[in-house]
Every structure is written in C-alpha cells, then in structure tokens.
Amino acid sequence: MSLKGSRDPSDERCMHTTAKLAGISLALFTVAACSAQFSQRPEAAGRGAAEFDLQVARAPFEQVDVNWKHRLDQPYVYVEALGSYTQVGRALDELFSAVRAQGVEASGPPFVLYYDDPGRKPTSELRLRACIPTSAGAAAALPLAYDVLPSTTVVYAYVAGPYPEAPRAYPALFSYLARMNWVENGPIREVYYRSPAEVKDWSELVCEIQLPAGMTR
C-alpha cells in the first residue's frame, strides 16, 4: 500500500519524528567510517544490489510504499547507549570494532533499535542498541551483549538516500499502523543495507524501517 507521508498533527508520536531526525542527523554520517572497516567482512554486506519487495521511497517521501510481514526470531549482538541519539555513530563504531576483534560472524546488515520517543522522554533517558544479526547462541564478550529479537508482525518500508533522512518516512508507517488498527509494540528498527563507504552517491543508500505491531484492545 502506498501512503502519503502526511499525518494528523494531533498524533504526538509522529509530530516528534522531526525531533528524532534532528537528533541523529549528524551522527549517522559517522556510519561511513565505521562501515568502511566493517565492510571488509563480506557476510556483513547484506542485500547489496538485491531487489526489494516494495518500491523504495525517496525524498521528499510524499509517497511511501508500506506493508506488513511476520518477522522471525533474530539473534543479534549489540552495544547499548543511553542518552542523545546523536551517540548512534559512536555506538556503531564501538560495535564494529568489537565484532571485528571478537571474530563474530554477521548474518546480515547492521541495524539500530530505537526504544524511545525524543519528544516524550528526556534526552538523558533515550535508549538505543547498535546491532549486528548473528546465528543463534553466538558468543559475545563485553562490550558486546547477546539477545534475540522475538518473532513478531512488523509494518515496514524501504527508503533511499542519506540515512539521517529515514525518519521523514515514519509518518507514513504510523498512518498504515493506524489504518490496520494496530499499535506500536516495540522499538523502531532501522536496517542499513548499504554502507556509505561503498556507494558513489548518498542516493544509493537504502534503509528498511520496521515498526513492531500489536493489536489494539
């Protein structure tokens, strides 16, 4: 389903999309340096030039193809950060360094879990995890930790362009969620399929946004 990016301004969760965008806009460009190191591991390259099952949306995100799917359990290792979402670049740098040092085998592209809405929680309490998917039971030592994303239904879309612009597509996903009479039920997940260090132009970057969905009562 293709949805316009507009959203009822009374919806506070979508109103704060801009706040999150501002919070990570500069930091995510540090992914370029981090990914330049991590991309030496071929298994981390993810889908690369593979085709996507929805039309990839582009700025100004007036039309965003959104759908739902069932996501299976996903084991992963991660580095956690507390505070401003501008720390995401630092967290990814720490993650990639630790994964490389410990020889952890990645099973897909890196992703970040954003647990909180910057418009509803103090900056000092914002939580994120910078993550790499792995096989089940992967060994991890500090600063890495191991966890499993539980199987769930997600609303998702693909967006192209600089990764800091991805939150501009959030309103379309929340609109789809509302139309399905579902509610957000877990951290927002952004999957970064292409390394900024490996593309000739930012327009070649592709990010998948996933909103875990739960049924309303």
- Cα distance between residue 28 and residue 121, in whole Å: 21
What's the pLDDT band for 50 if we cut at 50, 70, 90? low
Nearest to 180 by CA among 155, 145, 149: 155
Contact present, 1 and 168 (Cβ < 8 Å) = no
Residue 212 CA from chain centroid, whole number: 12
Q: What is the pLDDT of residue 33?
A: 40
Encode pLDDT of 92-121 as tens digits.
999 999 999 999 999 999 999 999 998 899
Contacts of residue 15, Cβ cutoff 8 Å, sequence gap at least 6: 9, 119
Instruction: List 147's β-bridge partners, or say none.
Output: 76
- Cα distance between residue 126 and residue 117, in whole Å: 8
Q: Where are the domains of the chain?
A: 2-215
Mean pLDDT highest for which of 5-14, 50-59, 148-157, 187-196?
A: 148-157
Query: Percentages helix, strand, coil for the chain, rounded to the nearest 5?
Result: 35, 30, 40
Encode pLDDT of 114-146 as tens digits.
999 988 999 999 999 999 999 999 999 999 999
Contacts of residue 158, Cβ cutoff 8 Å, sequence gap at least 6: 52, 54, 55, 56, 57, 65, 206, 207, 208, 209
Mean pLDDT of the chain: 82
What's the pLDDT band for 217 if we cut at 50, 70, 90? low
* Homologous superfamily of the 2-215 domain (CATH): Regulatory factor, effector binding domain (3.20.80.10)
Q: What is the pLDDT of residue 89?
A: 86
Contact present, 202 and 95 (Cβ < 8 Å) = no
